[in-house]
Each structure stands twice: as structure tokens, then as C-alpha cells.
Amino acid sequence: MISPRFFVFALLVSALPVFAQQDAPPPNVDSLLSELTSIETKQKQTKSAAKSAILAQIQAAMANGQIATAFYAKAIEEVQFMGRKDKAEAYQDWRKKNAESLRSKDLQTAILFHLRYLALALQRKGLEKPEALLPATMSYITDLLKDYPADSQGILGKPIGQSVFAQWLRLGEWLPEDSVWEPQPGNVAGILEKNVRPILRDSKSPQLLQTWDLQMRIAADAITKARLEHQVEIFNRVTRQRLIFQRALDMVVLGQPNRAVGEIITLVKTYPEHPDFPTWVSKIRELINRPAPPTGTAPQ
């Protein structure tokens, strides 16, 4: 049953006068475009200044372990305890419970590495020439391998976009996509593959092959330290051969297809039981059947 109120509303609406709507006068196109450009420029300048301020804040926290840990504790306070009625008491209780951990060299070192990697990521987003960060990235890898802290997976094993710093400082829009930048500060293999090798491939740098040798050495060292015989066997029978194959593919990138074929043939002959054997054979056939490059050019 239709409510009487509906009929009253309908009568009121039907009694309203109907006015013809007219468009506003056309804008001054040149003036409007100039204004839009000015607004866009100011917006970019504002965002750039905000990003620079945050980067400076992070870099200042990297001064030493104690400052970095204080910065970490502040982030914990603002993220985990914000909005709680007992914020002050709960945070102080957390500090007391974690006092020993906050003083530990391992945690301080992990936080320093995390902040250092976070600073690199902030610089990477929107960078026109990513190769400019290559020396700093390689230096980071070298230092991390030399002084990798124990029991730090909570800091170095978590993607930077999910870290307490990213949440506190709201860094989401200023961090590079995972497809072009390894999100985990402690994942050296990922850093080599995403942050380093694309640059070396573009420049056809011989250092490209050295990154695979480095990755194989890192993997072997980690397994040896773990003293897990099963993992050692898997590395020696499966993983190492896969890394050698990937290195051979990058030989092709460097214009060395014949050398690549030789490397892969060695794999085929030596490890016929490897699960990737069909892939290796297929790649050899592909490489030896490639048309010769024009005279004076290197194979691609």
C-alpha cells in the first residue's frame, strides 16, 4: 500500500517551477591552462619537499645505533599505541619489557640497515636514472654481507612497505613498486635481481656475471653455516645448476651466445637427471639456431 506521504511529496514536486538550465560562459583557455600548470607545479614542489623532509629525518636517524633505536621506539609508540587511553603506560611497559633487546647490537645493526635501505628506496622512486643508485646499492650489499646481524628477520625480513617506519611516516606513495625494487632489506638475491641486474643488463656491463658468482657464494655460505645436510644436497644437485643457467642467459645479453651454449652444454652433460634438463636442451637449440647478427654488431 502506497503511503499518503508519497502523494503529498509527488504533488509538491509537480508544483515546483521548471527552469531552463544554461551553461556557464566559456573559460579563458590560456588563463585556465596557465593556472592549472601553476597548481601542478606547486603540488609537485610540496610533495617533493615533504619527501625530502622525511628522507632527511631517516638519514638523521642513521647516525648511530642508539639514535636509530630511539627512532624505532618512537615509531612503535606512534603505530602500536596510538589511540589507546593508556598509551603512555602501555608504551612504557613495552619499553621495560624490551629494554635489553633495544640495547642489543644485533637489533641496532638491523635497524640501521633497514633505515639505510629505506632511504635508498625513497631515492629510487621516480628516479630518471636508476643507475645513479647502483654504487650505493652495491655498497649496501657488501656491508650487509659483512655485518649481517643475527636474529633480525623481524627487521630485515619484512617488506619495507609493511614496516613500522612506513606506517608511521606514511611512506606508501613514495616507495617504488616491488617489480622494480626488492622490498625486503635482507634479501640479497632479490636485491641483486631487481635493483642491480636490470641496470647492468641495460649497460651491458661485465659485472653482470659477477653478480651470479656472488649469489652462488652467498647461498653456499648460508647453507654451510646452517649445517643442514639436506639443504646442502639440494643446493649441490639443483639450486647451483639453476644459478649457473641464469648466468649463462646473461652471457647472451652481453653478446656471448657461444660461451652461453658451452656453459649450458656442460650442465646437460653433467646433470642429465636435473629437473630443468628439458629447459636447458630447449635453450641450446634456440641459441644454435639463431640467425647470425649483421656484420659489425654484437649478438643480442
Which pLDDT belongs to residue 231?
Answer: 84
Question: DSSP for 215-241?
Answer: HHHHHHHHHHHHT-HHHHHHIIIIIHH
The grid coordinates of residue 150 equal: 643475527
Measured CA distances, 9 to 1, 12, 15, 104, 188 (Å): 16, 5, 10, 73, 69
What gap in Å lies between CA 36 and CA 32, rounded to an integer?
A: 6
Instruction: Read off φ and ψ for residue 144, nearest 5 degrees.
Output: -65, -45
Instruction: Read off φ and ψ for residue 103, nearest 5 degrees.
Output: -90, -10
Which pLDDT belongs to residue 230?
Answer: 80
Total-model pTM? 0.82
Which pLDDT belongs to residue 298?
Answer: 53
Block means of pLDDT (10 residues each) for the chain, 300 residues, are 56 59 85 87 83 94 96 95 90 94 94 97 93 97 92 84 96 94 96 97 96 94 79 90 98 96 97 97 94 58
